[in-house]
Amino acid sequence: MNKAWLHFVLIACVGCLGFARAQDAKSARQIIAEAAVLSDDSDSQVKLVQSLTGLGDPETEPLLLSWKEGGIYLVPGADGKKVAVTLAGDPDAAKKETAIRLDIKEPLKDAAGASVRVSPTSAELAETDSSIRRAMKAVTDLSKLAAPNAKDRLMAISQLGMERDVSKLPILEGRLKVETDGQVKRAVQEAIALTQLRSPDAAVRLLGCKALEEIHPLSAKDALVGIIRDSEKAGDKPLLEAAKKALSAVESHRTVVNFFGTIFRGFSLGSVLLVVAIGLAITFGLMGVINMAHGELIAVGAYTTYVVQCIFAEGLVLSPFGMQMSLPGMNTTGWVYEMYFVIALPMAFIMAALVGLALERGVIRFLYRRPLESLLATWGVSLVLQQIFRLVFGSNNVQVNSPSWLSDNWTINDVIFGWNRVFVIGFAVLIVIGTWALLSKTPLGLLIRAVMQNRNMAACLGVRTERVNMLTFGFGSGLAGLAGAFLSQIGNVGPSLGQSYIVDAFMTVVVGGVGSLIGTVASALGIGVIDQSLQQILGNPVLGKILVLGAIILFLQWRPAGLFATKTRSLES
Amino acid sequence: MDHPLILNAEGVNKSFAGFKAITDLNFYLTEGELRTVIGPNGAGKTTFLDLITGRTKPDTGTITFGALTELVPLSEHEIVRLGVGRKFQTPTVYTDHTVFENLLLSLEGVRGVWKTLFSKTTSTDIDRIDEILKIINLGSRRTDLAGSLSHGQKQWLEIGMLLAQNSKLLLIDEPAAGMSDDETALTGELLLKLAGKHSIIVIEHDMVFVKQIATGRKVTVLHQGSVLCEGSVDAVQNDPRVIEVYLGRKKAA
Amino acid sequence: MTHSLLVRPIAKKEWTFTAIIAFFFIVVMPLLNSFGFISDFTINLWGKYLCYAMLAISVDLLWGYTGLLSLGQALFFSLGGYMMGMYLMRMIGDMGQYHKDMPDFLVFLGWEQLPTFWKPFSSFPFAMVMVLVVPGLVAYVFGWLAFRSRVRGVYFSILTQALTYGASLMFFRNDMLMGGNNGFTDFRFILGFDIRSPETKRGLFIVTAMILTVTFVGLRCLTRSRFGLVQQAVRDSENRVLFSGYSSPNFKLFIFVLSSLIGSVGGALYVPQVGIINPSEMTTDNSLEAVVWTAVGGRGTLIGPIVGAVSVNALKSWATRAYPDLWLIILGGMFIIVVLFMPKGIVGIPGMVRDWLAKRKRQKEPMEDAAIKKTEEEAA
């Protein structure tokens, strides 16, 4: 940036708040119209543009934008003087359009009083040069600072903070005085401190360092490193020390943020694992059935969510096996549409449970005493299901939109808590409690536990084991469906969705100790947190994942039966 | 004592998730002895065998085999190689192998991976197998698959496998279970024939069978994981504590 | 008397049969090819099938004979392929896109010089030793850990699945310096022969058929030796094996390593014939597909996996062209049907038919007896 220009802006800006008030009669529209015609006098144009600052006129921004992008033309008016106009966009045969006066928003009349029509290609454009554009940008940036919405203000301020333009310090300071929102205020302080570091005045730089030490924003690292380097060269001891202190405050804050962030992400990944694995904990853990198609049951849940979503919107057309099948949509919008997920959850459960029941009746019930064979047969089922997904929904991922109440986040002290992640944790807690309650508090749960412990004995006592097997498997499959509905919110939904989770799910159950619900919970959270920590430490998700797999194999050396092994006297398992 | 001890278990404790299966058990067996162990369900009989064979490890206590060998730190197959053979409650034989092959695999000697790769079946091996087949009355079934044998015959084959192993100590878990009366009697005779040459611990419920094999020998009663009393069959049967344990249980049931 | 290494002797008939089949593959088919009766394409295709047969045999040795369902066989197959691939990549020399004496992807990754571990792979014997050493070592370490902690049954399957998954993640990475997700391809020479010429392909086919024959005969003897008996005893009753004084973990480890080597050799023969190897070969699904071949052919027999690998893959070659959308459904369905209704596979069909006929006969006989009785009564 050139220095003269910098000074100029500094003076102009300081003055402009008061200056603008003096001309309160004029609207942004009028000022811009006035400025646009002064095409020979760039300095006056700049001054006029700058005078827009602080007007708070909502039209300022769109008009400046339109000027910049060539939407304003200069057309001779009735007196022959050029007038700034926009075109109405009603081309006739000669491609001419009505010229609308920019300042009063009315058609421009010629001497005869008729509307002037010009062609956009032949009319003179109101040009902008770089100095005007810079002034425009300064104006729009600053106008955003006063935006009524805290979020917009925050965005504008952090942008300014990144620019670190010393000339804008007074504006930021002015904002600090009037700002009421805590988060925005913090951002302003941050921006001020960061900008102060650029100040030519050593005392101001020192002030910046001290402020940064106090508010230790994560973004200050590079700036502080720069200051340390410069002050070392210049031998400025107090500044060097202050900068070092500030840097260490930032660094320690970063550690804290990373720590909590990692824990949170670990818990949310753990919850995903838990949601995915809990159905498996039932079918594999309790029933001893290795269901390789568990992943596809998850996908059934995810696709069900997709279908429900489409029905809430415009409906969808499927063409499986050459047939045409169209599902009508309800064309809902707004909050009704957003509630589709609430309907999708039970639907996903039911659909997956139904597929699970069919699987149990058709294949698995013949293989209860042959776990390896059930592994193979269910893998066959998983291939078939995957291909069916491809035929029905196509090989590409389908688009599932998260409802807005899942796509925002909270930021507390620089730690980001995504609502979908918070939701998955809560969701996992609910599912675990529900499953636990079903198993230990209901008559059905009692029957399930009885049958799983000793099929023959339960049968002798008159329990209809066939039915219990069926229901248990259906329940486990339904849980897989819920997991699928959930995963549709945080990842892609495609035919091989299930494949990407199946290894993790089995690992979780095995590490937790087969047949132990609490073990599954502990191992899911443990694996989640360890995985995220390794990612944080190694800075590489794949390497982290490989290490976790290795760690699990080694862990099983130490506890072959998992974390919470059910110790039994019968060793034949 | 005129005979040295072959098994010496002292102060053995074992619990499963809080349940005390074996409590402060002391048990001594002399060489060549045939000892019958009885006791109600859950007395810890099978667990005791598991502890001797290394299938589970005691929480505390020592189990010594022969003069000096401590069994606790050894693994199952090492204990077997020392000369401890076990017959399981349900007969466990290789069902897809012939009777001959079952015994061949049990023959003392070749055990390592490389040795089995290059081991030839010698005529001494075959003679020994035929000898055992005679003892266990399965000479006529030599080339049949073990899976095709009757329940009783499988039990005998399993005992034959222990003989082939040349085990010094035989641990026999409920040999009469699921057998016809004739088979039971034959089994009793078989065990009596082996006593003296081998030391044997038999776990049994069937009192007729116990009388057949234990008359004139010591019987041990286990209760709640420790030795309740020891003595002859008659003495044990008339012991008030034993009666209470069995009858008391029956009342409760 | 029977002073043989084999507890279960092999009949002369079997030897003759094996010799005839082997002769057909090693001599007759290549001859027919060189006279143009069998197309080069067919020879190449069958060469691939025979490599798959090696993989299937390795699966069967573990699953059919020892009761260990390994989902990691595709990993060993690919590892063998990668080792061979490294040699083949070196043989491209400076004929790659960048005309440097090193694989293109390394140049692309910014390597000025060949990384050290790549250097010895210019030697064919070294690469062949690595084909055995690398998968063998992986299998040994993993198997030692798994069997020592008594990982059995489905747990073993799940762990091998995780092993395969982890390994494929590693090979997908560029900084593994093994070609990342593109793997190795564009091979040119093997032992100085042009890898694309029909003669080389015929040669590779002959070598594959010979190695498969040797493997088959070797395993035939192995499974009938005392070792083989112990191995099958582990499958049927591992506890009894332990209580007979055998250290079953050692036996399982030996078999696991041996089968990893067989799979690896299969992979090493496969790569020059298909001309590409990449990490997508290294998936659990590929392992499971080999299990399907074995199951369809008939597990617990050695001829079964060969029959299965060839027939399922022939079916696949046809179906993926004729009904590309349905192939996976056919494969999956085939698996379900074989597991549920044909536990002995194709090889078991004659036995099933025999049993069924015997059963029918038994059912018929009493009726005939009754009929005879009836006529006798009538006569009386």
Q: How far apart are CA A73 and CA A76, in angstroms?
A: 10
**Do β-strands A315-318 and A325-328 pair in parallel, antiparallel, or remain unpaired?**
antiparallel
Number of domains in chain B: 1
Residues ≥6 apart with Cβ < 8 Å to A352: A297, A298, A300, A301, A304, A477, A478, A479, A480, A481, A482, A484
HSE-up (13 A, CA, CB side) for residue C140: 7
Residues of B in contact with C7 (CB under 8 A): 101, 104, 121
Q: How far apart are CA A279 and CA A482, in angstroms?
A: 9
Q: CB distance from C310 to chain A under 8 Å? A: no
Query: Which of the four pLDDT bands, split at 50, 70 and 90, describes residue C278?
Result: very high
**Do β-strands C193-194 and C189-190 pair in parallel, antiparallel, or remain unpaired?**
antiparallel
CB A404 within 8 A of CB A341: no
HSE-up (13 A, CA, CB side) for residue C21: 16
Kindly list the partner chains of chain B, i.e. chains with 3 or more CB atom pairs below 8 Å: A, C
**What is the pTM for the complete model shown?**
0.79
Per-residue model confidence (pLDDT) at position A572: 40
Pick the closest to residue B13 from B48, B45, B43, B41 (CA basis).
Answer: B48
Tell me which chain C residue has its CA closest to the CA of residue B84. C243
Between these two residues, A196 and B168, which has the higher pLDDT value? Answer: B168
Tokens coding A84? 């700034």
Between these two residues, A237 and C265, which has the higher pLDDT value? Answer: C265
HSE-up (13 A, CA, CB side) for residue C272: 30
* % of chain A surpassing 70 pLDDT: 93
Mean of the per-residue pLDDT values of chain B: 86
Q: How far apart are CA A300 and CA A482, in angstroms?
A: 9
Arithmetic mean of pLDDT, B209-232: 86
Query: Which of the four pLDDT bands, split at 50, 70 and 90, describes residue B250?
Result: very low
**CATH number of the domain residue B104 falls in:** 3.40.50.300
Residues of C in contact with B116 (CB under 8 A): 225-227, 230
Per-residue model confidence (pLDDT) at position A444: 84
Per-residue model confidence (pLDDT) at position C2: 45
Residues of A in contact with B173 (CB under 8 A): none
Per-residue model confidence (pLDDT) at position A17: 43
* CB–CB contact A507 C162 (8 Å): yes
| Residues pairing with C190 in the sheet | C193
* CB–CB contact C3 B121 (8 Å): yes
* % of chain B surpassing 90 pLDDT: 14
Q: How far apart are CA A72 and CA A517, in angstroms?
A: 69
**DSSP helix/strand/coil, A263:** helix
Per-residue model confidence (pLDDT) at position A573: 34
Task: Read off the pLDDT of residues B119-144 as tens digits, 9 standing for 90 and up.
Answer: 888 888 899 999 999 988 888 888 89
Using only the alpha carbons of chain B, give its radius of gyration.
Answer: 19
Q: How far apart are CA B64 and CA B56, in angstroms?
A: 15
Distance from CA of A476 to the nearest CA of C (A): 19
Per-residue model confidence (pLDDT) at position C34: 92
Per-residue model confidence (pLDDT) at position A174: 74
Per-residue model confidence (pLDDT) at position A22: 44
* Helix-helix angle A237-280:A202-215, to 10 degrees: 30
Task: Read off the pLDDT of residues C329-338 as tens digits, 9 standing for 90 and up.
Answer: 988 998 888 8
Q: CB distance from A542 to chain B under 8 Å? A: no
Tell me which chain A residue has its CA closest to the CA of residue C294. A376
Per-residue model confidence (pLDDT) at position A570: 39
Burial class (CB in 10 A: 0-12, 13-18, 19+), C372: exposed
* DSSP sequence for C3-35: -SSBSSPPPHHHHHHHHHHHHIIIIIHHHHHHT
Per-residue model confidence (pLDDT) at position C151: 79
- The ipTM value here is 0.84
| Residues pairing with B230 in the sheet | B220
Backbone angles phi, psi at B61, to 5 degrees: 105, 165
Per-residue model confidence (pLDDT) at position C371: 58
Beta strands in C70-141 (DSSP E): none
Domain interval for residue B119: 5-252
Distance from CA of A473 to the nearest CA of C (A): 18
Residues ≥6 apart with Cβ < 8 Å to A93: none
* CB–CB contact A380 C339 (8 Å): yes
**Mean pLDDT, 10 residues at a time, over chain A (573 residues)?**
50 45 63 79 80 71 79 80 80 81 80 79 79 78 71 76 74 74 78 77 76 76 76 76 80 85 87 89 82 93 92 81 77 82 92 95 87 88 92 88 77 77 88 90 85 78 84 92 88 87 87 82 90 84 84 80 56 37
Residues of C in contact with A290 (CB under 8 A): 154, 157-158
Size of interface A-C (CB pairs under 8 A): 113
Q: CB distance from C261 to chain A under 8 Å? A: no
Between these two residues, C239 and C142, which has the higher pLDDT value? Answer: C142
Q: Which of residues 20-79 of B touch A (CB under 8 A)?
A: 21, 46-47, 50, 55-56
- For the cut 50, the answer to whether the pLDDT of residue C315 exceeds it is yes
Q: CB distance from C221 to chain B under 8 Å? A: no
- For the cut 80, the answer to whether the pLDDT of residue C266 exceeds it is yes
Task: Read off the pLDDT of residues B65-89 as tens digits, 9 standing for 90 and up.
Answer: 987 788 888 888 889 888 899 888 8
Per-residue model confidence (pLDDT) at position A1: 43
Whose tokens are 């059930």? That residue is A374
* CB–CB contact A571 B55 (8 Å): yes
Tell me which chain B residue has its CA closest to the CA of residue C228. B117
The residue of C240, C241, C258 whose CB has the most chain B CBs within 10 angstroms, and thus the best one to mutate to test that interface, is: C240
- For the cut 90, the answer to whether the pLDDT of residue B56 exceeds it is no
CB A505 within 8 A of CB A276: yes
Per-domain boundaries in chain A: 75-125, 147-235, 258-495
Between these two residues, A100 and C121, which has the higher pLDDT value? Answer: C121
- For the cut 80, the answer to whether the pLDDT of residue C110 exceeds it is yes
Tokens coding B157? 């084959």
The residue of A516, A567, A568, A569 whose CB has the most chain B CBs within 10 angstroms, and thus the best one to mutate to test that interface, is: A569
Pick the closest to residue A98 from A79, A73, A78 (CA basis).
Answer: A73
* CB–CB contact A569 B16 (8 Å): yes
